[in-house]
Amino acid sequence: LELLGADMNEELYSTLKSKFGFNQFRHRQKQCILSTLMGNDTFVLMPTGAGKSLCYQLPAVILPGVTVVVSPLRSLIEDQKMKMKELGIGCEALTADLSAGAQEDIYSDLTSENPTIKLLYVTPEKISASGRLISVFYTLHRRGLLARFVIDEAHCVSQWGHDFRPDYTKLSTLREKFHNPPVPIIALTATATPKIVTDARDNLKMQNSKLFISSFVRDNLKYDLIPKAAKSLINVVEKMKQLYPGKSGIVYCLSRYKILQKKRQKIYLTLAFFRKECETVQMMLTKAGLSAEVYHAGLNDGLRVSVQKGWLANKFDVICATIAFGMGIDKPDVRFVIHYSLPKSIEGYYQETGRAGRDGMPSYCLMLYSYHDSIRLRRMIEEGNTTTGVRSMHLNNVLQVVAYCENVSVCRRKMLVEHFGEVYDEQSCRNSKTPCDVCERQRKNPEAIRLFDVSNDALSIMQCLPRMQKATLKYISELYRGNLIKKTSEQAVRMGHTKLPFYSKGAGMTEQDALRFVRKLVIEGLVHERLYSIPNQTAAVLAYAELTEAGKEIASGKKQAKVYLHIVT
Ligand code: ADP
Ligand code: ZN
């Protein structure tokens, strides 16, 4: 702590230059470093690529002792270890696949008089499983050589995060075990809504930590969204080939939830199903003249590593992956990220698109949107054997993604960063070189978006809903437009649906807008779609509309609600 005198500033800059080769700190890095050097618990929230690692690596180099870094993935750990070794910083990793001998070497260094290890990476499992490791920590602590604990990817500690890991919850014991004198903790994450931050700080027993947040705005990313149709992927890929010849991209496909582990047979079917989506996309890309590899839960570890390596070495153009891919992989020149399937949450989307343009150059992020994909996601969630609370959180996440996709009026950047509690003025997107699709449309024609009050029609639909059995949103929207195909039409007449008060009220609307209208009722929480699987068909689901509790209150006149719809004219 003597170091924190007037020379500190100089020491920070000289180490930054001599050890890491950087001239300047990035936004918030220095404040985080000073905070942790002063012995504070420090919580760092920075988007991917912002430079979180330096916030603990530089203090580890400056101060005596060993810094213990808890990180969830072996690939992440290996990547960091390699970087540290290149920089000549003493760094080792205790992971499950280490040989007994290598492990002994690490332990004997840690217990030696002057440990050469400055940074020790461990997985959370190792901390909860290895009594020996904890006793080595005790010894270091007693000798004043336990510099700090780093909890990387700290959102994994929260049930509300998209990547909850039970082993992370046991990290709370670190605070209790090493409290006299307290070992400072620094927790870092790129994915945290205010709720998750609070939860993570509570779980890690670092409620008094200093919180550092850097902006989540990614100026160089262009966010776009188009409907997913048969040709849309190919068209986009053609565009990417011209715009960024020879450059890398990621296409995200649907991935299964970790919780989806019921019957053996079911797992097998689901795996086959998702493998198929990755592979279908791979085939489409290959046909379009790009080289592509797949990465999904069905590959064995060896294959996964080799795909990852090939990717880093630019051996192929595009990776068709499920979200299992990408965490911690630092490839700076990814030029496009395409979502062929819906992401599971807004955070997930931000995180996945965040892998584009880490070098700061303009990059393209496209969502290929199909409402039906949200039903597929919902089905996976509902079939998962998890607690009701977690399930409803996942379902709510999907609903937020649907709201993001159905939106035509609010800047996408604004929606994304405000999800993380940041305030954003959409004028900056509107005036930037890479405006999102919404702002671009606004810029071209400020009158293009019009707002309609559809409250009365919404009420009428909600009042009729209890009388209509097994109505899909699509059927309701067709009734609303008074535009039914022949087969449905006969049935509708027989059931008396063409006599319902809302029938053909929306005759002037396009098919798409009428659908957006009824989906709006779902997004607003007034209508719920109940899912029914069709026996013996893994992929097919039927969804029937019914009123939610909130919807019932409005239909019965107990409460009132305004429903507005933005329409692109
Ligand atoms: P994060 O963990 O926040 O995703 P990293 O710590 O992996 O980000 O850093 C992202 C990239 O930025 C790395 O290549 C790193 O070397 C680089 N970087 C970090 N800090 C600086 C800095 N002050 N100046 C220049 N480059 C930096
Ligand atoms: Zn915008």
DSSP 275-321: HHHHHHHHHHHHHTT--EEEE-TTS-HHHHHHHHHHHHTTSSSEEEE
**Reported confidence tier of residue 261, pLDDT bands at 50, 70, 90:** very low
How many Å is the Cα radius of gyration of the chain? 26
Cα 4 to the center of its chain, rounded Å: 37
Distance between CA atoms of 290 and 220, rounded to whole angstroms? 24
Query: What is the number of residues in the chain?
Result: 569
Please check whether residue 91 is in contact with residue 118, taking contact to mean a CB–CB distance below 8 angstroms: yes
State the closest ligand 1 atom to the C-alpha of 47, by its place in the atom list counted from 1. 3
Distance between CA atoms of 498 and 480, rounded to whole angstroms? 9
State the closest ligand 1 atom to the C-alpha of 46, by its place in the atom list counted from 1. 3
pTM: 0.81
Q: Which of 17-21, 154-158, 350-354, 383-387 has the lowest mean pLDDT?
A: 383-387
Element (H, E) at 400: helix 388-406
Please check whether residue 210 is in contact with residue 352, taking contact to mean a CB–CB distance below 8 angstroms: no
The 10s digit of each residue's pLDDT in 419-467 is 988 889 999 999 999 999 999 999 999 999 999 999 999 999 999 999 9
Residue 210: how many CB atoms within 10 A of its CB?
A: 17
Mutate to test the pocket of ligand 1, among 22, 87, 89, 333 (most ligand atoms within 8 A of CB): 22
Please check whether residue 29 is in contact with residue 49, taking contact to mean a CB–CB distance below 8 angstroms: no
DSSP string, 407-421: -SSS-HHHHHHHHTT
Please check whether residue 518 is in contact with residue 527, taking contact to mean a CB–CB distance below 8 angstroms: yes
Judged by its nearest atom, the ligand closest to the C-alpha of residue 27 is: 1
Q: What pLDDT is recorded for position 268? A: 45
Judged by its nearest atom, the ligand closest to the C-alpha of residue 417 is: 2
Q: Which residue's CA is minimally distant from atom 17 of ligand 1?
A: 51
Q: What pLDDT is recorded for position 535? A: 66
Distance from the CA of 412 to the center of ligand 2, in angstroms? 5
The complex's ipTM works out to 0.98
Q: Name the percent of the chain lying above pLDDT 70.
A: 93
Judged by its nearest atom, the ligand closest to the C-alpha of residue 440 is: 2
In the block, tokens 């791979």 appear at 282
Amino acid type, 427: Q
Residue 362: both structure tokens together: 């303009």
- Find the angle CA(212)-CA(213)-CA(215) to the nearest 5 degrees: 150
Strand extents, DSSP E, 40-177:
42-45, 66-70, 91-94, 119-122, 146-151
Q: What pLDDT is recorded for position 319? A: 93
Distance from the CA of 479 to the center of ligand 2, in angstroms? 34
Please check whether residue 394 is in contact with residue 257, taking contact to mean a CB–CB distance below 8 angstroms: yes
Q: Which residue's CA is minimally distant from atom 18 of ligand 1?
A: 51
State the closest ligand 1 atom to the C-alpha of 328, by its place in the atom list counted from 1. 4
Distance from the CA of 251 to the center of ligand 1, in angstroms? 24
Distance from the CA of 435 to the center of ligand 2, in angstroms? 5
Pocket of ligand 1 (CB under 6 A): 22, 24-26, 29, 46, 48-54, 330
Which is nearest to 213 in space by CA: 466, 459, 421? 421
The 10s digit of each residue's pLDDT in 477-498 is 999 999 988 888 998 999 999 9
State the closest ligand 1 atom to the C-alpha of 52, by its place in the atom list counted from 1. 3
Please check whether residue 188 is in contact with residue 80, taking contact to mean a CB–CB distance below 8 angstroms: no
Please check whether residue 396 is in contact with residue 388, taking contact to mean a CB–CB distance below 8 angstroms: no
Which is nearest to 398 in space by CA: 384, 379, 415, 377? 377
- Exposure of 38 in the CB half-sphere (CA atoms within 13 A): 11
Whether 114 has a pLDDT exceeding 90, the answer reads yes
Residue 250, SS3? strand
* Average pLDDT of the residues in 83-91: 96
Please check whether residue 106 is in contact with residue 116, taking contact to mean a CB–CB distance below 8 angstroms: no
Whether 379 has a pLDDT exceeding 90, the answer reads no
The 10s digit of each residue's pLDDT in 213-257 is 888 999 999 999 999 998 999 999 999 999 999 999 999 998 654
State the closest ligand 1 atom to the C-alpha of 16, by its place in the atom list counted from 1. 23
Q: What pLDDT is recorded for position 263? A: 45
Calculate the alpha carbon distances from 222 to 238, 338, 430 in Å: 17, 12, 11
* Average pLDDT of the residues in 461-476: 95
Distance between CA atoms of 433 and 357, rounded to whole angstroms? 14
The 10s digit of each residue's pLDDT in 326-338 is 666 778 899 999 9
Q: What pLDDT is recorded for position 161? A: 75
Residue 136: both structure tokens together: 């080595």
Element (H, E) at 223: strand 221-227
